[in-house]
Amino acid sequence: DFQMAQSPSSVSASVGDSVTITCRASQGIGTWLAWYQQKPGRAPKLLIYGASSLQSGVPSRFRGSGSETDFTLTISNLQPEDFATYYCQQANGFYAFGQGTRLDIK
């Protein structure tokens, strides 16, 4: 089975901090990877596609990088509205999601 392993499962940070979330694919997927943000009771929101392209309207403090099996999402200068759960998703087949990373306020 194709799997996406995301870490950490949770992280605490303060407003103004930077955080990095990683995602590892069980096999190479080129740059066919997305990052989503989800807030409680809401649908996931597309942030990054193609591993590093910013979706329209998403602030530039969100940055994605990586290729093949190793990917990262970095959020710089955290804002209050950034505290949410983040998921990676591969787009090279059956769109498997990572387990999620919950970002809490410290």
Partner 1 sequence: QITLKESGPTLLKSTQTLTLTCNFSGFSLSTSGVGVGWIRQSPGRAPEWLAVVYWDGDNRYLPSLHHRLTIMMDSSKDHVVFRMTNMDPVDTATYYCAHRKTFYGSGSYYDFWGQGILVTVSS
Which residues contribute to the site for partner 1 (CB under 8 A)? 31-32, 34, 36, 43-46, 49-50, 53, 55, 87, 89, 91-92, 94-100
How many Å apart are CA 16 and CA 23, to the nearest integer?
A: 23
Phi, psi of 44 (to 5 degrees): -60, 150
CB of 45 to partner 1, least distance (A): 8
98 and 87 Cβ atoms separated by less than 8 Å: yes
Please say which residue, 82 or 101, places its beta carbon nearer to partner 1. Answer: 101
Lookup: tokens for 61: 């403090």
Please say which residue, 17 or 32, places its beta carbon nearer to partner 1. Answer: 32
Please say which residue, 36 or 62, places its beta carbon nearer to partner 1. Answer: 36
Amino acid at 59: P
How many Å apart are CA 45 and CA 93, to the nearest integer?
A: 20
DSSP label at residue 97: B
CB of 73 to partner 1, least distance (A): 15
CB of 3 to partner 1, least distance (A): 11
